[in-house]
Amino acid sequence: MTEKTFPLTKEQLERIIEMHPTPFHIYDEKAIRQNIRRFLKAFSWAPRFREHFAVKATPNPRIVQILREEGAGTDCSSLAELILSDVAGVRKEDILLTSNDTPAEEFIKARELGARINLDDITHIDYLEKHAGLPDFLCFRYNPGSLIEGNDIIGKPEEAKYGLTREQLFNAYAIAREKGVHRFGLHTMVFSNELQNDAFLFTAEMMFKLAVEIKERLGITLEYINLGGGIGIPYHPDQDAVSYEYVGDAIHKLYDEILVPAGIGDIMLATESGRAMTGPFDWLVTTVLHEKNTYKHYIGLDACMANLMRPALYGAYHHITVAGKEVAPLDHLYDVTGSLCENNDKFAIDRALPKIEIGDRVIIHDAGAHGHAMGFNYNGKLRSAELLLREDGSVELIRRAETLDDYFATLRFPGSMM
């Protein structure tokens, strides 16, 4: 079971809304810092352990800066994310570019920043060499195929566009070494939003055994193994969170059992969590605009799926509370909707909630990863502000809300002033 709480009283929230109209996302700095400290402590036994925060989850430089201050690097998959990492103070090999149908400009920027480059396909070796030159260090992303079952978000590995097959992987190391690369890493990412502790042990065992085989077959000693991310969060109160301590201890045992006897017990371990680092520590704060009663009972908010699209995209559950009514009986059944002209613009369907009135503040939980980040402008909707609740209780605006001027700024048409 997971208790769903909000770090502000209704009175505190109303004071914030006076300065920052809803809807907005608000992140809890203290909770984010405490969470990553606990995560890093669970892997403190590992040589030079590095968490590369998956920037795509929460691409705000202020959030990345906080995580960097606590010891995290970044995992990037675009030019903008590389630049964002640099702006946030992340440097050199603490940045990881995981390639995915990557254009030349991204490889060039990664080389300029001194980032680690993680190749997604064997053909990318020649492409990288041609456009940016081969670096001293290369990592390859392994796709284990049917060895892993996958899930609804990431899919079955054998059907995924990511990574090299086992045969390609061995060939890639040989080719890269022949071309002068002499520092190597190994990467995989096979889970997303996974809550079973033992799933991460399966990944670690697979990767450690593969590292031993690479040494035995090719004479290449890896210096870096990235176990990927995919640590889920308990979106539903009935779910339990992943135990960092259990997973860290169990992977430690596997490290000692597999890598140490093979003479490679100094390999640097890394992860690339996104959701687990920020997901539970942000809330989408909205205001009730309308109540509609037809064949169902609808509550209409001033937010829509442009502010949080996971429920519409995945049918995902996000817990909902009403400010000031946290202990009120859940005796009403509502569909909670936005104003987008799409019927799937719903944050909840047939959700038991307290009696809701126009003007109530509705809090949507666990919006801190793939929330604001997945926003869009369909229907001319504007993306909301992002706020940071500081450890001292103050509130910092870390991204202003979009305006109509922003929306029209890129357009060119006859008679425009642009």
12 in a structural domain: no
What's the CATH number where 111 sits?
A: 3.20.20.10
Largest separation between any pair of C-alpha atoms in the chain: 73
Can you tell me the distance from the alpha carbon of 209 to that of 63, in angstroms, rounded to the nearest whole number?
A: 35
Claim to verify: residue 214 and residue 321 sit in the same structural domain: no
Claim to verify: residue 290 and residue 267 sit in the same structural domain: no
Does residue 266 or residue 159 have the better pLDDT?
A: 266
On whether the CB atoms of residues 52 and 276 are closer than 8 A, the answer is no
Mean pLDDT confidence for 145-151 = 67
pLDDT at 154 over 60: no
Claim to verify: residue 384 and residue 289 sit in the same structural domain: yes
Segment 234-243, tens digit of pLDDT: 999 999 999 9
Segment 409-418, tens digit of pLDDT: 999 887 665 5
Mean pLDDT confidence for 252-280 = 98
Can you tell me the distance from the alpha carbon of 53 to that of 369, in angstroms, rounded to the nearest whole number?
A: 11
112 in a structural domain: yes
For residue 206, give the nearest of 160, 157, 142 by alpha carbon.
Answer: 142
The sign of the dihedral angle between the CA atoms of 210, 211, 217, 220 is positive
Mean pLDDT confidence for 2-27 = 98
Mean pLDDT confidence for 151-180 = 86
User: What is residue 282's predicted lDDT score, i.e. its pLDDT?
Assistant: 98
What's the CATH number where 313 sits?
A: 2.40.37.10
From start to end of 16-115, where are the E strands?
24-28, 50-54, 73-76, 95-98
Mean pLDDT confidence for 333-344 = 97
pLDDT at 111 over 60: yes
Cis, peptide link before residue 311, omega less than 30° from 0? no
User: What is residue 386's predicted lDDT score, i.e. its pLDDT?
Assistant: 99
The residue out of 273, 290, 308 marking a domain boundary is 273
On whether the CB atoms of residues 333 and 297 are closer than 8 A, the answer is yes
User: What is residue 414's predicted lDDT score, i.e. its pLDDT?
Assistant: 78
Q: Which of left, alpha, beta for 339 (phi over 0: left; psi -120 to 50: alpha)? A: alpha
Whether the model clears a pTM of 0.85, i.e. scores above it, the answer is yes
CA angle 196, 268, 88 (to 5 degrees): 85
343 in a structural domain: yes
User: What is residue 417's predicted lDDT score, i.e. its pLDDT?
Assistant: 54
Mean pLDDT confidence for 363-386 = 97
Average pLDDT score, the chain: 96
CA angle 198, 201, 205 (to 5 degrees): 145
182 in a structural domain: yes
- Per-residue pLDDT band for 149 (boundaries 50, 70, 90) equals low
User: What is residue 317's predicted lDDT score, i.e. its pLDDT?
Assistant: 98
Claim to verify: residue 298 and residue 237 sit in the same structural domain: no
353 in a structural domain: yes
State percent of the chain over pLDDT 70: 97
Mean pLDDT confidence for 364-393 = 97
Claim to verify: residue 186 and residue 329 sit in the same structural domain: no
pLDDT at 37 over 70: yes
Q: Which domain holds residue 207?
A: 43-273
Tokens of residue 165, six digits: 């097959």
pLDDT at 150 over 70: no
Mean pLDDT confidence for 14-22 = 98
Claim to verify: residue 101 and residue 187 sit in the same structural domain: yes
The residue out of 248, 273, 298 marking a domain boundary is 273
Claim to verify: residue 228 and residue 93 sit in the same structural domain: yes
Can you tell me the distance from the alpha carbon of 347 to that of 380, in angstroms, rounded to the nearest whole number?
A: 19
User: What is residue 413's predicted lDDT score, i.e. its pLDDT?
Assistant: 81
Instruction: Give the dihedral of Cα atoms 140, 146, 149, 155; nearest 10 deg.
Output: 60
On whether the CB atoms of residues 55 and 76 are closer than 8 A, the answer is yes
Claim to verify: residue 165 and residue 56 sit in the same structural domain: yes
Claim to verify: residue 262 and residue 152 sit in the same structural domain: yes
248 in a structural domain: yes
User: What is residue 153's predicted lDDT score, i.e. its pLDDT?
Assistant: 47
Mean pLDDT confidence for 15-42 = 98
- Per-residue pLDDT band for 84 (boundaries 50, 70, 90) equals very high
The domain tally of the chain equals 2
Tokens of residue 249, six digits: 């201890």
Claim to verify: residue 233 and residue 301 sit in the same structural domain: no
24 in a structural domain: no
Claim to verify: residue 190 and residue 299 sit in the same structural domain: no
State percent of the chain over pLDDT 90: 94
Does residue 417 or residue 305 have the better pLDDT?
A: 305
Claim to verify: residue 168 and residue 62 sit in the same structural domain: yes
The residue out of 273, 301, 318 marking a domain boundary is 273
417 in a structural domain: no
User: What is residue 152's predicted lDDT score, i.e. its pLDDT?
Assistant: 52
